[in-house]
Every structure is written in structure tokens, then in C-alpha cells.
Amino acid sequence: MERSHSAANAAADRKITFTRTATCKAVLEKQMAIEQTLSIIKPDAVERNQIGAILSMIEGSGLRVNAMRFVHLSKPQAEAFYAVHKERPFFGELVEFMTRGPVVVIALEGDNAVSAYRALMGATDPAKAEPGTIRAKYGSNLGENACHGSDSAENAKTEVSFFFPELS
């Protein structure tokens, strides 16, 4: 009788362990959501031939390139993309900067891609960015900071579909 009771306990323990493992896996999958985000390698970084170095950092971080284009934004395209900043005092300067030369637009994918890419980019001001981030390594100043990244999952969907409607 002792033996069958132990066998029953062992079976119950295995069931509990399996349930806990399955629950933990489900929680981890929710926490590590596969997302898309948009990256733009800005004209300043393109002009200084830093595309490959920035792509290497992106891929080295575990993010995957889902789509990529080399484009020269027109003024209407830049104004439409940055419309959220239309009332800000830097809007005209931003549009002028983003249209002065080609950019590389990239749809990235990965676990928590928005926050992962924002961490990799670093602070907007390269002087305040953590060492080893894209902006600390390749940004020149607050205006010419080498890259753009979506600031939320919702904006990422809008921004990715702006440049890559086929991914929507």
C-alpha cells in the first residue's frame, strides 16, 4: 500500500511539475512577444558610411532584418512620416535633415523588438547615450543622431506600414 501511495504521489508531482513548466513557458512567451519595429539609418550615418556597422550591431543584438530599403525621402514623405511633430519648433529642421540625403529604412523583428531596439540605439542625445549604443558610437549631436526607432508597439505598426505596406 505504501508503494502505490508513493507511485500516486510521484505521478501527481510529475503532473504539477509539467503544469508549472507549461505555465512558466506561457508566461515567458507573453513577456517575450515577437514584435516588429522600424529603424531608420539617418542621412548623417549614411554619409559617413556607417550602414554596415549599424546593421552589424542590430543583427548582433538578436534582432532580425525583416525588410530593408535604401531611399531618398521627398519633402512630402518626410513631412507625412514626422507629422506627429508638425507643431514642434524643430519640425522644419527635421524634415530638411531627413531629405538631405538617402536613408536606410529597416523593418526589424524580434523579442520585444521596440524596447530592445530603443535600448540598442541609446538616448536621443549621443552625449547622454550609454557607451556602446548606436547613438553613442555614431551620432554627432541631438539633431544628427544616426538612427530613428519606433517609440511604441502601436507606432511601430504605423511606421513599418508607412515604408513597408506589404508587411501589414
Q: Catalytic amino acids?
A: 148
Contacts for 14 with CB less than 8 Å, ≥ 6 apart: none
Triad 114, 117, 118: Cα angle to 5° = 80
Contact 101, 49 (CB under 8 A): no
User: How far is the C-alpha of 54 from the C-alpha of 90, rounded, in Å?
Assistant: 25
User: What's CA 103's distance to the chain center, in Å?
Assistant: 17
Are the C-beta atoms of residues 63 and 109 closer than 8 Å to each other? yes
Please, what's the b/e burial string for 88-102 (b: 16 or more CB within 10 A of its CB; e: otherwise)? eeebeebbebbbeeb
Rg for the chain (alpha carbons), in Å?
Answer: 22
The whole-angstrom separation of Cα 89 and Cα 92 is 8
